[in-house]
Structure 1
Amino acid sequence: MSSPTTIPQAPRRSLVESTIDLIRAQVESGAWKVGSKIPNEQELADMLNVGRNTVREAIRVLSHAQVLEVRQGDGTYVRTNVDAAETMRRIGRSSLREHYELRAMLEAEAARLAATHRSEADVAFLRELLSRRGERRDHVAREDFVDADIEFHGAIARMSGNAALAELYRYFAGSVRVYMSEALDEGDLPNPGLDVHAIIIDAIERRDGDAAAAAARAVATPVIAALSMERAKPSKG
C-alpha cells in the first residue's frame, strides 16, 4: 500500500503581518483619522497583545508604504488611509468578472477624454498600434498579443489629457496582463477582435466622446456577460 501523498502546509501568518493588518484596519475604518497621532509603541503593544519589537516593525512597514509617518521625538501620525500596495493586492485577488468590469470603466472614460484631447498624430498612432495588435492568431506567443493589447489601451489612457487616469491605468496594467492571460486560457470566452477596437479609434477621430466610451465598453461587454453567466450556473454536486 502506497503512502499517502503529503503537501506542505501553508505558512502561518507572522505576528508582524497580523499586527500590520490590525493597524491598517484602524486606519481604513476611520478609527484613526488622517493627520491624527496614533497610540505609542507600548500602548499599541498592550492593545494588540504583542511585543514592542513587533509593533515597531509593523510601523516601519506601514511608514515605508506611506500610510504612517514617524516624527522623531513626537510620535507616529496617520498619513493616508489608503495603502496602494495593499489595494493592488486586493485587486489581484478579485474575480475575472470583477476585473473586466473595472477595466471597462477605466477604458471607457479614457476613450471619452481621448476623443476631446486627441491630435491627428494620436489617431494615426492608435491605428498603428491596433495593426501591431492584430488578432490573437497573428501572434505565436500569447504574451506578445497581451502586451500589444495593453499598449493600445494604455496609449488611449495617455491621450486622455488626465495624468491621474493615465498613471492609474499604467499601475493597473500589471493586473490587466495577468487577467487577460487568464481570459485567453479560457477557450470558451469571447475574444474581442480588430473590428470592435477600430470603432473606438473611429469615434476618437470624430471627437465623439460618448461613442468612444460606448465602443470601449463594448470591447469588454461580451466577456463580462459570459463570465456572469458562468457565475450564475449552479455548482455541481
Structure 2
Amino acid sequence: MDTGPLRPSPLVEQAAARLRARIADGTWPVGAKLPGETTLAKELGVGRSTVREALRALAGAGLVRPRQGAGVFVTATAPVDDFPARLRRAAVTDVYEVRAGVEVHAARLAAHRRTDEDIAALHAALAARRAAAEGDDAAFVDADIAFHAVVVDAAHNVVLSGLFAQFVPVLRKGLVELLALTGLRARDPNHGDAAHEAVAQAVADGDADLAAAVLAKELQDPFGQAGQPEG
C-alpha cells in the first residue's frame, strides 16, 4: 500500500481516495475508529482541513460516520449506491417507465390544484416548446422537458417535483441520443405537439381524468409507434 506524501493537487480527492483504499483493504474494518485528524494529516502529508473535507466526502458516500465526542467510525467498506448514481446507470427506458407513473399522477393532481400562475406557465412552456421546434434536437428536448416539469410543479407536491428533477439528466441525455439516432424530427420537427396542447388544456380546464389519460398515452411507449421516442 502506498504510504508516501500526496501530490499537491487535488489534495482532498487524493486524501479521500487514500482513506477509502485503507477501508476497502481492511486496515480499518467496519466498526473501527479512524485515527484522529492530526494523525491522519501527518500520515498523508496534508493539513487537518484537507483531512476534514476528505472525511466529509467519505461520510457522504456512507463509508464513515462521525460520533459526537467519540470520533469517526467505519460504517461500510464500499460506497452506498444512492438513487442519483443508480439513475445515471439506468437505461432511459427504465427511467421512462417510472417517469410515466410520476407524471401521470402529477397531471391528475395538477388539474385539481393548478393556479392561474400555473396555467400561464403551462401555456408559456407550450409556446417555448413550439419555438424550440425550429432549433436542434438538444434545444427541443430541453423545451420538452421544461414543459413536463411545469405540469409536475403544478401538482404542488415537492416530492413529485424532486423525483422528476432527479430524472432530468438521464432523460435529456437519452432523448437527445434517440432523436439523433432515429431522425424523427426530420419528418416532424414539433413531434407530439397535439398531445402536449391537450395536456395543457386539460390541466387548465381542471379535467383530471383527461389530463392523466392523455399523458399516460403519450408516455406509455418512449419509442413511439415505430421505435421512436415520444417527447
Shorter-chain TM-score: which interval? 0.5 to 0.7
Deviations 1:133-157 (CA, angstroms, capped at 9, x unpaired): 0287x33222211111111111112
How many pairs does the alignment contain?
187
User: 2:87 aligned with 1:91, yes or no?
Assistant: yes
1:215 aligned partner: 214
Greater mean alpha carbon deviation, residues 151-160 or residues 206-215: 206-215
Rounded to whole Å, the distance in 2 between the matches of 1:22 and 1:130 is 54
Name the CA shift for 1:166/1:172 in 2 (closer, same or farther; >3 Å). Answer: same
Greater mean alpha carbon deviation, residues 104-113 or residues 119-128: 119-128
Paired residue for 1:40, among 11, 32, 45?
32
Rounded to whole Å, the distance in 2 between the matches of 1:206 and 1:62 is 50
Rounded to whole Å, the distance in 1 between the matches of 2:223 and 2:207 is 24
Percentage of matched positions with identical amino acids: 29
Normalized against structure 2, the TM-score is what? 0.64
Which residues in structure 2 correspond to 1:1-237 (within 5 Å)? 39-41=31-33, 60-65=56-61, 69-76=65-72, 86-134=82-130, 138-187=133-182, 192-223=191-222
Q: CA deviation at 1:188?
A: 6.9
Greater mean alpha carbon deviation, residues 166-175 or residues 70-79: 70-79
Normalized against structure 1, the TM-score is what? 0.62
Deviations 1:173-225 (CA, angstroms, capped at 9, x unpaired): 22221122122123177985110111211221222223222222222223257
The CA RMSD measured in Å over matched residues stands at 3.9
SS at match of 1:222: coil
Rounded to whole Å, the distance in 2 between the matches of 1:116 and 1:110 is 10
Q: Which amino acid aligns with 1:104?
A: A
Q: Could you tell me which runs of 5 or more consecutive residues in structure 1 were left unpaired when the two chains were aligned.
A: 1-13, 24-37, 43-51, 231-237
Deviations 1:51-96 (CA, angstroms, capped at 9, x unpaired): x99xx999643313477531243255799xxx89732121121122
